[in-house]
Amino acid sequence: MNAVTIKDVAARAGVSPKTVSRVINGEAYVRPEVRALVERVVAELDYRPNAFARSLSGSRSYLIGLFIDDPASGYAADLQHGAMMRCRDRSYHLVVEPVDLGRPDWDARVRDGVAALRLDGAIVAPPICDEPALTGLFEELGLPTVLVAPSVVPPSSGTVHMDDLGAARDMTDHLIGLGHRTIGFVQGPVHHRASARREEGFRQAMARAGIGVDESLILRGDFALRAGLELGERLLSGTAPPTAIFAANDDMALGVLITAMKRGIAVPDALSICGFDDAPSSRAAWPQLTTVRQPKAEMAAAAVDILVSPRLRTNPADPDAHPLLPYQLIFRNSTGAAT
């Protein structure tokens, strides 16, 4: 069976091969109805442009880099999946590039990688998206960049966000609605923007409900399971332990859950626990964890869309280059009514 060509797509759609090329490459100056028609025909014929041939025919490589500090994490896996699938839809390819800022030669390694791959754009995940040296390097190299949930938005970068504050406020409202008044909160790393926003949402919900925050029940973690184990022990061994604990991510919430089980504290009958992220482990735990579903794959897909759009790639000041994606509260069996 012969491979489908761009001429086959053009003939079926009744347009020129040049128009098909413009649609595939995300270029402007194509009427919306024509773009929709070509995209439908591309899907019907399962047309797959040859990325190597496309890169030879122009100045673009059709490669997008995902720069991340811990490629083995669940967060990274979700970002990678979302970016990879959207790259496939847009006839691009994804390259995952680990960045260890603790290495003295990290900048040289990044420079070499960008030059060797001729990347068309970069997606930078937290927390390294908040490193000025890294974002400044991409700006120096003239590489279009989209930052995932950064604390500060450089004028030369696009961004994708979710409302961490609103999500944490809504989850705290859920606990308050269940009758909880003594609620502990396990913070994430001090340098992590999302952690601060989640704590702010927690505090806003408590203040709005007229409930004072017991500062002895606010403990600093680092997003690791071990922190949840250790801090859960501290929270649950006091003379007046909380009836609910909200952790700023699922790994720490699972650590609290394990500690509660070790101490013979029934969840959710005697203690409600909730987390943030909707990691796969939140569904594997027992009881399954109430949490916030963070649209990680969708944020990565949106970042790809920004980078392949000529209008947004060259104009990061455009509001469309800074989408805010929705979150979802996932109610499972780790939260229940206060007793």
Helix axes 6-13, 17-24, angle to 10 degrees: 110
For the chain, where do the domains classified as CATH 3.40.50.2300 start and end? 63-161+295-325, 164-294
What's the CA gap between 100 and 335, in Å, rounded?
38
Q: What is the mean pLDDT of residues 199-215?
A: 97
Supply the pLDDT for residue 33: 87
SS3 state of residue 123: strand
For the chain, where do the domains classified as CATH 1.10.260.40 start and end? 6-48
DSSP string spanning 318-338? Answer: SGGGS-EE--EEE--TT----
Task: Please measure the distance between the N-terminal and C-terminal CA atoms of the chain and give it in whole angstroms.
Answer: 68
Span of 58-62, 82-86, 304-308 with lowest mean pLDDT: 58-62
DSSP string spanning 181-242? Answer: -SEEEEE--TT-HHHHHHHHHHHHHHHHTT----GGGEEE--SSHHHHHHHHHHHHSSSS--
Q: What is the mean pLDDT of residues 148-172?
A: 92
Supply the pLDDT for residue 237: 94
Distances 49 to 21, 67, 98, 152, 299 between C-alpha atoms, Å:
9, 25, 28, 37, 25
CATH of domain 6-48: 1.10.260.40
What's the CA gap between 333 and 13, in Å, rounded?
51
Which CATH fold would you assign to the domain 164-294? Answer: Rossmann fold (3.40.50)
pLDDT in tens, 161-189: 999 999 999 999 999 999 999 999 999 98
- Kindly tell me the sign of the dihedral angle through the C-alpha atoms of 118, 124, 127, 130: positive
Supply the pLDDT for residue 56: 42
pLDDT in tens, 64-119: 999 999 888 878 889 999 999 999 988 899 999 999 999 999 999 999 888 888 89
Question: Would the pLDDT of 272 be above 70?
Answer: yes
pTM across the whole model: 0.77
Supply the pLDDT for residue 28: 64
Contact 276, 294 (CB under 8 A): yes
Which is higher by pLDDT, 290 or 46? 290
> Max CA-CA distance within the chain?
77
SS3 state of residue 70: coil
Strands (E) across 15-169 are located at 63-68, 93-98, 121-124, 145-148, 157-162
Question: Would the pLDDT of 214 be above 60?
Answer: yes
What's the CA gap between 49 and 335, in Å, rounded?
49
Span of 18-27, 70-79, 212-221, 283-292 with lowest mean pLDDT: 18-27
Mean of per-residue pLDDT scores for the chain: 90
CATH superfamily of 63-161+295-325: Response regulator (3.40.50.2300)
Which is higher by pLDDT, 311 or 327? 327
